[in-house]
Structure 1
């Protein structure tokens, strides 16, 4: 989920006892810690969010505990102090891992009771020490069914630990969430299915990453990175959410992800410029990635042609050989309305810093609460 630092799979990223723990649907946003100088958390307009995620912190690869230096400690403290003092205040979540953390660390951590206990204990300690309201596991992704089963065991033990900690300290129970694929399975050399029963029992919600369907890893043709519908298949947000529901997830624990960034391609032929047009690799931006605000700037500076695609419910723009797929206000509004019809738990953005003058965050919040 950390595309500004390492463009892999992302993320901008939320509860009942489980839903009763948050009293309102989730409107979440991830804050990338590497943006601390250019976009401090104090700039976040909390009127448009209920939960803000600190992205990311990862445990030691051997001890599965956190080694936090003085600089990181200061950033963690400032994050929580700033957001809890805002009006309105928001719930803060410690997001663990991210795309660049990979899967191997968490696969090993979840494979034994001792390492799971070490991770859980250290996570609770860090969350309490720095003032977080909860923790969010961003394991991208459990690749085998054994890893998925261990993920379920981790959630079982984590839930018991946070309940016991709250009882012993008298503090409000820490919230628990996890960022997941847009659908309830990972297909690699086989099919690994998420432990939906354990998720329902133990997590307050999941953040389904409903984006990155197309990007630099599909360099030969343009694509809608976060299509609501896929007219030629099943790679879409609607299919992902419906798949989670069919798998038995409690609807209020399902939170839909949306991107505040776009992916770019270089067109082979500027006159062939629709979705699926032949491409010759990535286009402008940070290894093919652009914040939504940067997309808007690019469009204005290059007099780009902007197209709303009704079939996928997404936007794209092009100028010369440069082509960008992204979401804009209309497609986001349609997605939020669709999520409301499913009666799911809310939505989140990767990342909160990508917006332009908060116009998408504002519209999404108004649409959800209308």
Structure 2
């Protein structure tokens, strides 16, 4: 279904990208400062098969909503985000550009009400397609990730399938694709998703296999570990990528429709003591905010690798695990779990070995977009895509 992207030559030779590599772009990255700021013009069109612009939302009348008109549109001297994003296809015509609708901050209340009836669903679908066509998008990435949750209703489980079926039919008639983003939580999967029914009405299903741990735990752990850690017990035995992917397949999602999420960011803690700094180290507070993302408990990969180079952070991998963590004890006692060049190779190989439909990054702008750390721009995403494509062929 997805054509191999062309080999493009720029300052450096880009790898041949084949298969489904979905890359989310956070539209608000244009507001960041310094090397954290990423403009659409700085993206590499050949890096991904699907670029996804996050986010649009929904209005009270159930029509699609442009969340940041100044950044997204050209009106009134705006930054023309939508049009610049889809114009990447002028460089690589085989690229697909999608608009993501939803996200955690949008909640479920309006989506739940919109999905209740065929009439309200039709209002949303018509307005969404009009917006997609106006700005030359190739489809919709539907990110109502938590039906029945976050302000939703029990009926969402059934209505969500009705909505996806009608969306898929309408988009397909326009030659467009439908992808969705779904939760890694077993309890949410059980409550919110009729998995076999969903599988019939979507092209690809991105599983957000990250944020499985974080500062809310008050102890350190990797937020996107591929396998369980030897000391995991109880619910933590499920909080790893392999367990999540295996559960989605067991519930009825074809592996070749599943897209495995790989984070381009780390989850960070402040250690309670400098004496304990492995997994399950006590950490009551989130880590300090990064200089560009400005969010406690979170750092983009670019922020982490920059700080490692400048401040001499320690890098370690727990025995039996694949993903790194890094810490700095002398001043702020920060501890971050994240991905690096080696770990994304292992994850890409896992996705290929298990016959998955693709890999996904959240978000491409959190990668080393300017080559601050290793010299190659977007090294993690390029490495993930290249490894997955070679291992899948």
Preserved CA contact (<8 Å) 1:28 1:53: yes
- Out of 284, 301, 317, the position equivalent to 1:280 is 284
2:90 is equivalent to residue 78 of structure 1: no
Matches within 5 A, 1:77-226: 77-81=83-87, 83-87=88-92, 90-143=95-148, 145-164=154-173, 166=174, 173-182=175-184, 186=188, 191-218=190-217, 220-226=218-224
Preserved CA contact (<8 Å) 1:156 1:198: no
Preserved CA contact (<8 Å) 1:84 1:90: yes
Query: Who is 1:27 aligned against?
Result: 21
> For the structure 1 residues 254 and 262, does the alpha-carbon distance in structure 2 shift closer, same or farther, using more than 3 Å as the test?
same
2:350 is equivalent to residue 346 of structure 1: no
Query: Who is 1:253 aligned against?
Result: 257
SS at match of 1:214: coil
Q: Distance in 2 between matches of 1:89 and 1:25?
A: 12
> For the structure 1 residues 184 and 343, does the alpha-carbon distance in structure 2 shift closer, same or farther, using more than 3 Å as the test?
farther
- Deviation of the 1:131 alpha carbon: 0.4
Unaligned runs of at least 5 residues, structure 2? 5-17, 32-36, 74-79, 290-294, 369-376
Matches within 5 A, 1:238-249: 238-249=242-253
- Deviation of the 1:111 alpha carbon: 1.7
Preserved CA contact (<8 Å) 1:53 1:92: yes
> For the structure 1 residues 253 and 348, does the alpha-carbon distance in structure 2 shift closer, same or farther, using more than 3 Å as the test?
same
2:335 is equivalent to residue 323 of structure 1: yes
Bigger relative CO (Cα 8 Å, ≥ 6 apart): 1
Query: Who is 1:41 aligned against?
Result: 40
Preserved CA contact (<8 Å) 2:63 2:128: no
- Deviation of the 1:216 alpha carbon: 2.8
Q: Deviations over 1:272-296 (max 9, x none)?
A: 0001100121012222110001000
When the two structures are superposed, what TM-score results if normalisation uses the length of structure 1?
0.87
Q: Distance in 2 between matches of 1:106 and 1:52?
A: 24
Preserved CA contact (<8 Å) 1:94 1:134: yes
Unaligned runs of at least 5 residues, structure 1? 1-19, 167-172
When the two structures are superposed, what TM-score results if normalisation uses the length of structure 2?
0.82
Q: Distance in 2 between matches of 1:275 and 1:70?
A: 43
- Deviation of the 1:363 alpha carbon: 1.1
Q: Deviations over 1:1-36 (max 9, x none)?
A: xxxxxxxxxxxxxxxxxxx36675211110111123
- Deviation of the 1:110 alpha carbon: 1.2
Identify, as 1 or 2, the structure richer in strand. 1
> Which deviates more from structure 2 when the two are superposed, residues 127-136 or residues 67-76?
67-76
Preserved CA contact (<8 Å) 1:205 1:255: yes
Query: Who is 1:304 aligned against?
Result: 313
Q: Give RMSD over aligned pairs.
A: 1.9
Query: Who is 1:11 aligned against?
Result: none
SS at match of 1:92: strand
Q: Distance in 1 between matches of 2:251 and 2:385?
A: 28
Q: Distance in 2 between matches of 1:258 and 1:276?
A: 22
- Deviation of the 1:302 alpha carbon: 2.0
